[in-house]
Structure 1
Amino acid sequence: MSIKLENVAVAVRDLEATIAFFTDLGLSVLGRDTVSGEWADTAVGLDGNHAKIAMLHTPDGNGRIELFEYLHPDAIETEPTQPHEIGMHRVAFSVDDLDEALAVAARHGCQPLRGVATYGDVYRLTYLRGPSGILVMLAEELQKG
């Protein structure tokens, strides 16, 4: 049996604001749709499932994130997860210029949780809180080959 990661999906409060954040970081919108109907109810396990969705991908085409803004049932606001909580942890991206990526994030009101760290001589990296409280890790490789 073979297996391949297709995408990571995240429910968001504001689809347009979240798309703007990720496209400003360099992702591209691959497609958009509105999903509902019996097939969506069955697949997701929610009666009356109705959502606006967008699929974004990284420039290399390998990484995908699917964003959902629920129209029905009503989205449930929760406290944003903390890095040490069990469950969905974060979305991580490699960037070629961490300072530039942080400037883009700042334009969306997003700042590092604590600061920028250096992991050995491998990465400069940070976690920040993106739209809808999404934890996003940005990492710049230090020894670019």
Structure 2
Amino acid sequence: MTIKLENVGIAVRDIEAAIAFFVDLGFELVGRDTIAGEWADTAVGLDGNHAKIAVLTTPDGHGQIELFEYLHPDAIETDPTLPNEIGMHRVAFSVDDIDAALDIASRHGCYPLRGVATYRDIYKLTYLRGPSGILVMVAEDLTKNRGPAE
């Protein structure tokens, strides 16, 4: 059996704001739709499932996220996930320039939880709160910009 990761699904309260955030980071919007009907109820396990969806792909074409804005049943507001809670809690992206990524995020009101850290002179990284309070990790590989003598 082969297995391939298709996408990471993220429920958001405002799909347009979430699309704008990810597009500004360099993602490409590859499709959007409104889903409803018996097939959607069965697949997702919610009666009366009705949602706006959008699929975005990373600039390298290897990863996708699928955003959902539930129209029915009503979305359930929860406290934002903490980094140490059990379960899925963040989506992570490598970037060529973390400062540029954080500048883009700040234009959407999204800021690091505490600051930017450097891990063993290999990565600069941070967690930030993205649209709808989702945790987004961005990391810059510091080894990619080093010359052979470093």
Amino acid at match of 2:143: Q
**Counterpart secondary structure, 1:132:** helix
Larger Rg: 2
Which residue number in structure 2 is paired with residue 78 of structure 1?
Answer: 78
Instruction: Give the percent of matched residue pairs that are identical in Structure 1 and Structure 2.
Output: 78
Q: Structure 1 CA distance, aligned partners of 2:106 and 2:8?
A: 23
Cα offsets for 1:68-111 (capped at 9, x unmatched): 00000000000000000011120000000000000000000111
Which residue in the other structure is 2:10 paired with?
A: 10
Amino acid at match of 1:37: G
TM-superposed deviation, 1:20: 0.3
Query: 2:109 matched to which residue of 1?
Result: 109
What is the distance in 2 between the residues matched to 1:38 and 1:122?
Answer: 49
Measured after TM superposition, the shift of residue 122 of structure 1 is 1.1
Tell me the equivalent position of 1:131.
131
2:148 corresponds to which residue?
none
How does the TM-score come out when normalised to structure 2?
Answer: 0.95
Moved over 4 A (4+): none
Q: What are the ranges of 5 or more consecutive residues in structure 2 without an aligned counterpart?
A: 146-150
User: Distance between the aligned counterparts of 2:9 and 2:51, measured in 1?
Assistant: 13
Question: 1: distance between equivalents of 2:76 and 2:47?
Answer: 15
Note the aligned Cα RMSD (angstroms).
Answer: 0.7
Counterpart of 2:39? Answer: 39
Tell me the residue number matched to 1:30: 30
Hey, what's the Cα distance between the residues in 2 that align with 1:117 and 1:93? 15
How many residue pairs align between the two structures?
145
Give per-residue Cα distances to partners, 1:27-54, cap 9 Å, x unaligned. Answer: 0101000100000000000000000000
Partner of 2:62: 62
Within 1, Cα distance between the matches of 2:89 and 2:10?
11
**Which residue identity is paired with 1:63?**
G
Compute the TM-score of the two structures, normalised by the length of structure 1: 0.98
